[in-house]
Every structure is written in structure tokens, then in C-alpha cells.
Amino acid sequence: MDLFTEIEDTERDEIRTLRKELEEANYKYYVLNQPTLSDREFDVKMRRLQDLEKAYPDMADASSPTQHVGSDLGGNNKFASITHRYPMLSLANSYSQDEIQEWLHKLPANVEIVCELKYDGLSISLWYENGLLTHAVTRGDGVRGDDVLNNIRTIATIPTHLDAAIFGGNVPSFLELRGEVLLPWANFERLNQEREAQEEPLFANPRNAASGTLKLQDPNEVARRGLACYLYYMLGENLPGKTHYERLQSAQQWGFPISDAIRVCHSIDEVMDYIHYWDTERKNLPVATDGIVLKVNDLSTQQSLGYTAKTPRWAIAYKFPAEKQHTRLRAITYQVGRTGVVTPVANLDPVQLSGTTVQRATLHNEDFIRQLGIVEGDEVWVEKGGEIIPKITGICPLPAGDLPAVFIGTSSEPHRNLIGTSQLHCNGAEHAYSFPTTCPECGARLVRMEDEAAWRCPNELGCPPQIKGKMEHFVSRKAMNIDGLGTETIDLLYAQGLLHSIADIYDLKKEDIAKQERLGDKSADNILAGIEASKQVPWARVLFALGIRMVGETTAKKIARRFTSVETLQWATKEELTAIEDVGDQIAENIIQYFLDIRNLEIVNRLRSAGLQMEADEQAQPVSNKLAGQSIVISGTFAQHSRDEYKAMIEINGGKNVGSVSKKTSFILAGENMGPEKLKKAETLGIQLMSEEEFLTLLND
Ligand code: IVH
């Protein structure tokens, strides 16, 4: 293969990898509210993907994350889903002031620019029908969102009805206001303090806290947390004014919460002054901001500039670089995670960063420390991105107060000094560092797989954080779903010596639980009821709950279908296992190793004696053969059931749910907004589309 073909292959692979990574990051950010990438890391990856897609136009794909906004629609949705009247888009963004100036230069001459703060919360669309606030819809996937009206009603500054007098008795029949819902810093900190006291997981930042709050089912709790809102966009018919600014002014007069920080600018210099002023001044605001939004003021110019698939061309966001500080690295300690990964932690001289005192930060892994050549006593740069755990981003060999000579990922140009995209600087101490050889929790000898950056403690069954991690996984919703047994309770019962392994859960006595601080009779009853109910959980989920490495939910289902009991699985050979779809050598090896360990066999035996479903239930066999032999693709969004439910319906009626359309596809169960690629393929191959109503009728007949 010549060099160019090789580069091309690598870049095409990179497109696929980036798409996967960004989808995953979107899901974790919008649905789980647990960001795994900082905003900056996300934006850099997105940029790279955009550039690569431009270079390989044949790989264009309408479902690429470059083509749609992230979705906050989760699996089991408890809110009514509403289709937006106008799609809810995102904004193009840049960390580079040069790029912002370039964007301004390309606009028609003499356009006015409205500068606004970019509030860091989540977007909301408020619908006023005949003067009444009737819906408050989250962005969702940009096309459909969740109606969280009852929660929005707790925000006192949002009018629940329009004052007819202001409109001379003629309130508009429809008006839509869009804006950002926020949790002010003070309320965020109070909430996290409460959660810390109750040993509940902390919110990483006010955005995640606002998002988690807006999705609560209990408006009283929402009210207690104290959300806030700023509105920045008005839509509807026959609206007053010819400019964006005039509209926001009207909205303010009508009683809507509009920020005072909005300015109309007439030159690039004015825009840059606004950016510089707020870069510092924003630190004194009661709410989080992550940039500045620039919008073309004149509405007809906006219209002629138009939109891309994802963003308006008439607006752009300048994102502030993440805040960083330098401080002294006192010591490196090591933390063992719930999966056995050992993470080096920097213990720092306390330093103020984004409003909080930072004393600990992650150093990621051995390679990171080696590449930086970092040693205890160094002056280091610490940065807080979107995550709660700050990171060390570089060493600072100059005396305190000077500019950094070495840093990673904090440059105002995203392509410079990023891990993986440029060489790292070294302070000459590279050779001096060695990662510990034994686990700081249990003393086992650490191992490092060839293709992994992390060192792991292999003592799965004897290392405290791993034992607790296994229990957490076992009781989790998709596994045994034992209500009431959360992380804190597991920690507590483990510390009391009542839980050593997942099998001990079934030996818990009411009095053991009830006598624990913060638990009592009611919690004990609740936990025991959850444990009892878990005995009905089907074999496939029990298999998933066992926590065999790399055996995820879907793989467990496939294995459980082939091996319908734990006895048969226990004796399965590598060949038999790898014959199952999705089971490769490594997974097969992990399963075999699991059942070779006598301690696991003992756990499995105890679970069986406790009454868990260790074999497939005959009754779970197909309820009909109506779909026998049919390969069915599910695409789009549905009103009556979730995708998972439709998948299950297909399976229990003898059909097979497949991911992509081919000539073997029997029909497509098509919801709203079906993917354009699938639609095109279905048309080309002449495959029938079936609506959800038709599908349900078919099954019910
Ligand atoms: S205008 C079509 N203005 O930033 C224009 N958005 O990264 C839509 N945001 O989804 C957005 N402050 O949630 C606009 N002053 C502001 C904003 C703002 C925060 C959020 C908004 C949007 C996201 C894009």
C-alpha cells in the first residue's frame, strides 16, 4: 500500500471513530448529565471531524454528529414529547478571536452585530398560546423535545400569561420565546453541599445540575433548587420590529427576563471590546457563562444568510478558554476506581479556580506523567473544564506569575499543544518517574495490558473499591434493579462488614439494615422488597449483572439465548462462545476465566440457592409467531412506545430486529423523522415502511 492510501485509510477510520466518540459524548452530556469530555475537548474533536468530512465528501452521512444537534432525549421518558414548531438549532463556535474577526469580515458591509452573553445552561422553548404559557419544551434532538412546563412554572421571572393590557387587548395567538435555563452559582453550590452531606453524587457543573433539575418529576423539589432563566430569541408571526434587538426590547417590556448585558455593536472593534470586557467581568455574574454570542441584528439580513443543517449562518459563539491557575504539586497519590483502574492524583497547594478551591486534580495515567516529566514539587497548571475533577494540563517551570512555557490544551488556538496532536514538552525528569507496582488498596501486583494506557489492579474479588463497584453494577437498573440499594448504602453495609460479595445481598436481614444510621425500618423494608423482586429478573439480565468483563447488556442477551442456563454456560467452550454474534476471543476468554475461578462458582451457587433466575424462563418464549422469519429495521422516533419496547415486541413475536436496511429487510417500522439515509435506501430497494399504528394493529389482530 502506498503512503497516501495508508493515510487515507487512517483518516477514514478516524472519521468513523470520531463520529462514535462524539455521539457517545453527546449522550453522556445531554442524557446522563455526566460529561466525559470537557467542552473544549468536544469542540476540538468536532472541528477535526468537520475538517475530515470536508476532505472526504464521499463519506458524508446525514446522521453524523456534525449534521445534527446533541439530543437530551433519554430512554425512559416521563415527559410528553412535543415537536418544535421551528427546529431548535445550535450555534457555530470558535475559541479563536481571529476566527471571530474573520467571520465578521465576511458579513455584508456595515451590518450591526448584537453581542450577548452565552449562558451555560440548557435551552428551552416557551410557547404562549392566546396569551397563556402552554408548553415549555427542551431542545431534545432539535426536532422534538420534552415538555417540562410544570418545572418551568417554578421560575418566578417567567410569565405564565401575557398581560393583555400591554397588547391593547390583542395578545398574539402564538408566540415563542427561547432562552437558557440556569442554576445560579449560589444555588448550585448549596445543592452540591447538600448532596455531599447525603453522600449523593455531585453535579459536575451548574449546567448539569440545571439539566438534572429540569428533568425531575417533582416540581416542589425543582422550586426548592431555584432555577433561573434568560431569554434570547423570539419567534412567531406578525412580530414587532425589524431587528433582533428591537424584539428583545419588546420582550423585556412584555415582562420577559432579558439580560441587561446585550449590546448593539457597529464595528469589529466594538465587538472585540465587548468580548474583552466580559471575559473578566463574567466572573462577577451570579450565573455561569461560557462565551459570547454574536448575532446579525437585521432580521432580513439574517434571513438572507440562512442556515446550515445545524446552525444559523447569521450567528456565532466565541467560547472563553477554560480557566487555569498555577500551583505547587505537593505529592502524587493513587486512586483505585471501581473497575480496578489506578489513576494518579495530583495533591496541590490549594488554589482558587472558577469560584472553588482546588486541591486535587487528575494526572490521567503513567504516560501522561512521563510525557510531561512532572515531579513532586513542580509548579503546575491546573484547569477546570466541564468536569468536576480538575486536570493538570502542564508544568510551569517559570517563577510564579510568569507566563507558562509549557502547557496542554489551554492555548487560544485549538490545534496547539493538545495531547495527541503535538509533542509534549519535558522537563528532563522523564526517566525519574515510576508508577507503583502494587495496588494501594489491596497490595495486589498491578497489570497493564499492551493496548491500554491504564494500570489495573487484577484482584477483582478482593480489592475493596472493585468489590463495591461490582455490587453497584449488580443492583443497577438495567441489571437486578434493586431499589434502595444505592452507592452510599452499599458503602455503608460494606464498611459494616455485612456485604463482601454480591451473594451477601441475599443474606441481608431487616435488623442489619434498619440499625444503620440514616436507614431505619422503612428503608430496610424498601431494600428487602427490591431484593425479593430481583429474584424474578430473567436469566439474561442476571448474566449481565454478574459483571463478567466486557459482557454488556446486549451481549449478555445473545449469550443467554444460546446458553439458556448457567450450568450450560459454565461448560461452554471457546469455539461455542465465539460462534455467538458479538462474542469475540476476548469476551469468550473472560467468560471461561470467570467460571474457572472457584470464588465465582461459589457466588453463582449461592445466588442460585437464593432463588435467582439462572435459566431461561419457558414463559418468556415467543408470544406469537406473527413475525417469524422477518427482519425488521426500526427507524425514527415513536409516540406510543419506546424503541426498546418495539424491539422487545418484535423479538417476542418471533421476528428479528436488525440495524441496517438491506435487501433482506422485510419492512421498516418507521417513526417520525426517519433517518434520510435509511429512507433513501428503503426507496431504492423498494422496502415497505410501516407506521407504528399499522405495526400495533398487525400484532393485535
Ligand atoms: S442563540 C438560532 N443566544 O448556546 C440561535 N444561544 O451552543 C440559537 N445559548 O443552544 C441560539 N446563550 O442553548 C443563543 N445568548 C444566547 C445564548 C445561547 C446560551 C446556548 C443555547 C444554544 C447553545 C449553542
pLDDT digits (tens, 9 = 90+) for 177-214: 999 999 999 999 999 888 877 766 788 789 999 999 99
Residue 311 CA: nearest ligand 1 atom is 2
pLDDT tens profile 606-632: 999 999 999 987 655 566 788 888 999
Distance separating alpha carbons of residues 361 and 357, to the nearest angstrom: 11
Cα of 678 from ligand 1 centre, angstroms = 31
The residue whose C-alpha atom lies closest to atom 3 belonging to ligand 1 is 232
Confidence category of residue 77, pLDDT binned at 50, 70, 90: low
When pLDDT is averaged across residues 464-492 and rounded to a whole number, the result is 90
Nearest Cα residue to 545 out of 616, 612, 615, 480: 480
Mapped onto helix, strand or coil, the DSSP state of residue 280 is: helix
Residue 326 contacts by C-beta under 8 Å, 6 or more apart in sequence?
Answer: 351, 379, 380, 381, 382, 396, 400, 404
Cα of 48 from ligand 1 centre, angstroms = 22
Residue 312 CA: nearest ligand 1 atom is 2
When pLDDT is averaged across residues 623-643 and rounded to a whole number, the result is 84
List, in sequence order, the alpha helices (H) in 202-298. Answer: 206-214, 219-225, 244-253, 268-281
Cα of 588 from ligand 1 centre, angstroms = 47
- pLDDT at position 423 over 70: no
pLDDT tens profile 111-156: 999 999 999 999 999 999 999 999 999 999 899 999 999 999 999 9
Residue from 95, 123, 141, 295 whose mutation best tests the ligand 1 pocket (most atoms within 8 A of CB): 123
pLDDT tens profile 243-286: 999 999 999 999 999 999 999 999 999 999 999 999 989 988 99
Cα of 124 from ligand 1 centre, angstroms = 10
pLDDT tens profile 653-668: 888 888 888 888 999 9
Residue 69 CA: nearest ligand 1 atom is 10
3-state helix, strand, coil in the chain (%, to 5): 40, 20, 40
Catalytic position from the list 20, 28, 78, 118: 118
Confidence category of residue 411, pLDDT binned at 50, 70, 90: very low
Q: Tally Cβ neighbours within 10 Å of residue 5.
A: 9
Residue from 29, 114, 180 whose mutation best tests the ligand 1 pocket (most atoms within 8 A of CB): 180
Residue 315 CA: nearest ligand 1 atom is 5
Q: How far is CA 289 from CA 211, 283, 334, 595, 629, in A?
A: 15, 9, 33, 52, 54
pLDDT tens profile 583-599: 999 999 999 999 999 99
Distance separating alpha carbons of residues 636 and 643, to the nearest angstrom: 9
Residues in contact with ligand 1 by the CB-under-6-Å rule are 89-91, 116, 118-119, 123, 180, 232-233, 293, 312, 315, 317
Which pLDDT does position 415 carry in this prediction?
27
Cα of 177 from ligand 1 centre, angstroms = 12
Residue 259 CA: nearest ligand 1 atom is 15
Cα of 191 from ligand 1 centre, angstroms = 25
Residue from 118, 294, 320 whose mutation best tests the ligand 1 pocket (most atoms within 8 A of CB): 118
* Backbone Cα Rg of the chain: 28
> Does 324 participate in catalysis according to the annotation?
no
Q: What percent of the chain has pLDDT over 90?
A: 57
Confidence category of residue 569, pLDDT binned at 50, 70, 90: very high
Report the length, in residues, of the chain.
Answer: 701
Nearest Cα residue to 584 out of 559, 616, 553: 559
Nearest Cα residue to 418 out of 65, 54, 98, 38: 38
Confidence category of residue 10, pLDDT binned at 50, 70, 90: confident
Strands 324-336 and 341-353, by their bridges, are antiparallel
Distance separating alpha carbons of residues 435 and 440, to the nearest angstrom: 11
Nearest Cα residue to 205 out of 140, 288, 90: 288
The residue whose C-alpha atom lies closest to atom 17 belonging to ligand 1 is 118
Query: For the ranges 114-123, 352-361, 464-473, which has the lowest average pLDDT?
Result: 352-361
Largest CA distance in the chain: 81
pTM for this structure? 0.58
Cα of 324 from ligand 1 centre, angstroms = 25
Averaged confidence pLDDT in the chain: 87
When pLDDT is averaged across residues 446-459 and rounded to a whole number, the result is 90
